[in-house]
Amino acid sequence: MKGVPILIAVALLVTSTSYGQQQQNGQQPNGAPPSESPIEPRPRDVPPGGRANTPAQNVVAVPVPVAPPRPNGPIQKSLVRITATEVAPDYRAPWNAGMLGRGVGAGFVIDGNRIMTNAHVVSNSRYLTVERDGDPNKYPAKVLFVAHDCDLALITVDSPNFYKNMLALKFGGIPELESTVSAYGYPIGGERMSVTTGIVSRIDFQLYTHSSIDQHLAIQISAQINPGNSGGPVMENAKVVGVAFQGYSGDVAQGVAYMVPTPVINRFLKDVSDGRYDGYVDLGITYGKLQNPAQRKFLGLKDDGRGVLVETVVAAGPCAKILQPGDVLLSIDNHPIASDGNVELEGERVEMPEVVERKFKRDNVKFDIWRDKKSTSGSVQLDTVPPYLMQSHKYDVRPRYVLYGGLLFQPLSLDLLEAYQPTDLRLRHFFDFYVIDQIYREHPDVIVLTNILPDPINTYLAPYRGGIVDSINGKKIHTMDELSQTLAEPADRLVIDLIGDGPPLVLDPKQVEGARERIKMRYNVVREQNLQEQPTTKAPDLQTKI
């Protein structure tokens, strides 16, 4: 087995000679060509003997190439390695702090003494350190802004020495298809900076898996990107053209990696320029193409290839005031909308939502509308559409829950589903159709009885697990706050009706009160409820105190 990594290491050494001077350490394998004397001794070379139990122990460290020719300049003066200690909330025991984990990602210095990285590198972090090449120190860092919807974050280091000798990188535009780009980062396979190159394969809208509901422009590149590349810059001609952020694991597809392109990055930087991140706005509508001749004729439209059909208008979205299903959108901000949903922006055909992608909270958007064979127009102030958040991953929050008589009530969310993996058809329906069927109007929180901590007072209640709370003592329950208040009200008995045909769940509040301390003790429950998804760490001052 040992032969294999050694051979790989040799191959790497050989290929990297093309960069110029090489530097060796004490672990040079037999048979490798002797090296030139090192130009710059590196303190972080793998020491003789290596670290126990690391797969890399037999791998000879690859020196960072230092001399030209390198098209992107001395990247190690901009690149940083970020180590995040994170605490992921435990949705199955939400009173606990959660699972402790550690992750390594990359970042790069930009203007204003800021470091850009991915949101997922710093999400749920409790402590962040930053290292740079050629410097033995670890610098504590703090988060300035996190954008979970586009997987970008800005962090900074307080230490005044840190930014000395660091170069802020500049951003470029959208690279051409087939042009060569290089990705820098700290992927698995070694400790030092890694460079991979590839070409730009595709420019398209993609799902950003960090939130798992947001779709933005993303650029697919053929450069190898692995865990640890996240947050690292992808460069072309000494300019950042993207931030590496996601890819497929090797068993799904190979050589498919994605980077956040500069239009998304620039929007993020502009959004935070006022000191807060507002996030992407959304129209809160669905629309369809209008390519069918009969349908166009029915709607009284000319055969001019223009207009899209409004299908669903989310009541909680900004367009609910001016649009209704069946409307035809003819133009957006005076850009004509083609019947396939495309508009022309700065000479390029893009999908209509791209117009909104470039806007910010409280910006306006204007539509020319065709309704009942008459033309009209309307303008709305853009905003986020909160119900969508239920279907997205959440970070840096404490899960909400209420524990009562050993019964654990939690609001339905993507994180909850992933924690419990329920197969219940009703739960799945409430989740899948929460926004599109506007379930949120009646159930702002879909309150699920997720678990029962066994105790003599609830010993027969196991069959109720997975039920969704409809009402308590005849009163409809819409939110976790209402649930908490209603459970606290004095009553002779509590009759909890769950949605569907099942029997009511009946509890005696006196018994529950009597069992309270017992359940808390037995299951080590520190708090019986949390109703606020308050941020856990984001006040930057807290960071340095840890």
Partner 1 sequence: MRSLFISVVFALVVTAGAAVKKEAGSPPNKDVKQKVLSLVRVNVTGQPYDYFRPWQKKAPVSKRALGAVLSKGRVLVTADLVTNQNYVELERAESGEKTAANVEVIDYEANLALLQPSEKNFLDGIAPLDIAGDTVVGDRLAAWQLEPTGALVATEGLVTTIQMTKYPVDVGQFLTYRISIPMQYRENSYTIPLVKNNKLAGLLLRYDPRSQLIDAIPAPIITHFLKEAEGEHYQGFPGVGFSFFPTRDPQLRKYAGQTGKPGGVYITNVEPNMPAMKAGMQVGDIVLAVGNHEIDQNGNYVDPLYGKIDFTNLISAHSYAGDVLPFQIQREGKPMELKVTLEHRDAKDYVSPPYALDEAPKYLVLGGLIFQELSRQYLKEWGPNWQREAPQRFVYLDHFQSELFPGEHRRIVILSQVLPANNTIGYDEFSYLTVLKVNGQEIKSLNDLAAAVKQPIEGGFIKIETEEDPKQIELEAKSIDAEAPNLQENYGIPSLQRLD
**Please, which residue, 80 or 283, has the CB nearer to partner 1?**
283
Query: Measured between alpha carbons, how far is 241 from 402 in angstroms, rounded to an integer?
Result: 46
**Residue 291 near partner 1 by CB under 8 A:** yes
**Residue 512 near partner 1 by CB under 8 A:** no
Tell me which stretch binds partner 1 (CB under 8 A): 1-9, 111-119, 211-219, 283-291. 283-291
Which one of residues 112, 173, 305, 502 is an interface residue with partner 1 (CB under 8 A)? 502
- CB of 258 vs partner 1, minimal distance in Å: 25
Tell me which stretch binds partner 1 (CB under 8 A): 26-34, 104-112, 266-274, 458-466. 458-466
Torsion of CA 300, 306, 311, 314, to 10 degrees: -120
**Helix-then-strand count for the chain, H and E:** 10, 28
Residues 231 to 260 in contact with partner 1, rule: CB under 8 A: none
Contact 245, 151 (CB under 8 A): yes
Q: What region, left, alpha or beta, does residue 396 occupy, with left being phi > 0 and alpha being psi -120 to 50 degrees?
A: left
Contact 294, 182 (CB under 8 A): no
Residues 314 to 353 in contact with partner 1, rule: CB under 8 A: 325-326
**Please, which residue, 346 or 501, has the CB nearer to partner 1?**
501
Residues 161 to 200 in contact with partner 1, rule: CB under 8 A: none
- ∠ Cα 437 480 523 (to 5°): 125
- CB of 487 vs partner 1, minimal distance in Å: 15
Q: Which position has the token pair 């009173």?
A: 95
Query: Measured between alpha carbons, how far is 190 from 98 in angstroms, rounded to an integer?
Result: 29
37 has catalytic annotation: no
Structure tokens given for 496: 């909890």
**Residue 309 near partner 1 by CB under 8 A:** yes
- CB of 239 vs partner 1, minimal distance in Å: 39
Query: Measured between alpha carbons, how far is 135 from 117 in angstroms, rounded to an integer?
Result: 20
The dihedral built from the CA positions of residue 314, 319, 324 and 327, taken in this order, carries a sign that is: negative
Q: How far is CA 216 from CA 20, 156, 261, in A?
A: 40, 26, 9
DSSP element (H, E) containing 542: helix 540-545
Tell me which stretch binds partner 1 (CB under 8 A): 292-300, 343-351, 514-522, 526-534. 292-300
**Please, which residue, 33 or 326, has the CB nearer to partner 1?**
326
Identify the active-site residue in 123, 230, 392, 484: 230
Structure tokens given for 126: 């409790």
For the window 465-494, what string marks contact with partner 1 as x by the rule CB under 8 A? ----------------------------x-
16 has catalytic annotation: no
**Residue 372 near partner 1 by CB under 8 A:** no
Structure tokens given for 546: 């840890």
DSSP code, position 477: -
The Cβ of residue 75 has, within 10 Å, a number of other Cβ atoms equal to: 22
**Residue 297 near partner 1 by CB under 8 A:** yes
**Residue 311 near partner 1 by CB under 8 A:** yes
Tell me which stretch binds partner 1 (CB under 8 A): 106-114, 115-123, 291-299, 344-352. 291-299
Identify the active-site residue in 78, 120, 125, 413: 120
**Residue 305 near partner 1 by CB under 8 A:** no
Which one of residues 429, 441, 476, 518 is an interface residue with partner 1 (CB under 8 A)? 429
Q: Closest Cα partner for 444 from 400, 407, 505?
A: 400
Q: Which residues bind partner 1 (CB under 8 A)?
A: 286, 288-295, 297-299, 309, 311-312, 325-326, 425-426, 428-429, 432-433, 436, 460-461, 463, 493, 495, 500-504, 506-508
Active site residues: 120, 230
